[in-house]
Amino acid sequence: MRRALFIYLFLFLSFNAFSDGHALKSKPVINLAMAKVMADACEADQRKSGYSPINIAIVDDGGDLVLFRRQNDAFLLSIDIAMKKANSSAGIPFPTRTIEELVYGKDGKPGIIPGLAFSKDLVAFAGGLPIRTKSGVLLGAIGVSGATADEDEQCAAAAIKAVDDIL
């Protein structure tokens, strides 16, 4: 009797350990092919609009680099800024323009989270955008730097729009 109870308990616990409640979850990810399409669209927007050369960083939802592209003559210091914009937007996850408003305020009103300005590697000006699926799942982020902040953001938006049909 005791042995049968032990076997029953063992089988019950084994079954529960491998049931759906403990299965691995799957999630959509940003891949290199998608990142290349985005970078191409961003560069096309830059050329069409005629603003300064840019650096483009695309990261996954954990902030790991998927793709980095630097146009000829893009500012060298903008390499780091593009990376930080992408990581800031993936980590918060809001557009870096929104982070700017949270830190520094808008329309003469102070920011509601000024302490974010002291966060290491956080960028609080436009040019970084989160990349989300249509259902809102965060895939990663794009950071663009080299032109004005508004132009950087325009380029990032063009990149996301280029893959909108597969998000």
Residue 3, in any domain of the structure: no
CATH number of the structural domain spanning residue 66: 3.30.450.150
User: What residue numbers bound the domain in which 132 lies?
Assistant: 50-93+126-166
Residue 162, in any domain of the structure: yes
Residue 118, in any domain of the structure: no
Residue 31, in any domain of the structure: no
Number of structural domains, the chain? 1
Cβ partners under 8 Å of residue 152, min gap 6? 54, 85, 126, 127, 144, 145, 146
> pLDDT tens digits for 86-140?
999 999 999 999 999 999 999 989 999 999 989 999 999 999 999 999 999 999 9
Residue 32, in any domain of the structure: no
Residue 69, in any domain of the structure: yes
pLDDT at 137: 96
Residue 76, in any domain of the structure: yes
Query: What single string gives the DSSP state of each residue in 77-143?
Result: HHHHHHHHHHHHHHHS-S-HHHHHHHHH-BTTBPPS-GGGGGSTT---SSSEEEEE-TT--EEEEEE
Residue 39, in any domain of the structure: no
> pLDDT tens digits for 21-76?
667 888 899 999 999 999 999 999 999 999 999 999 999 999 999 999 999 999 99
pLDDT at 9: 47
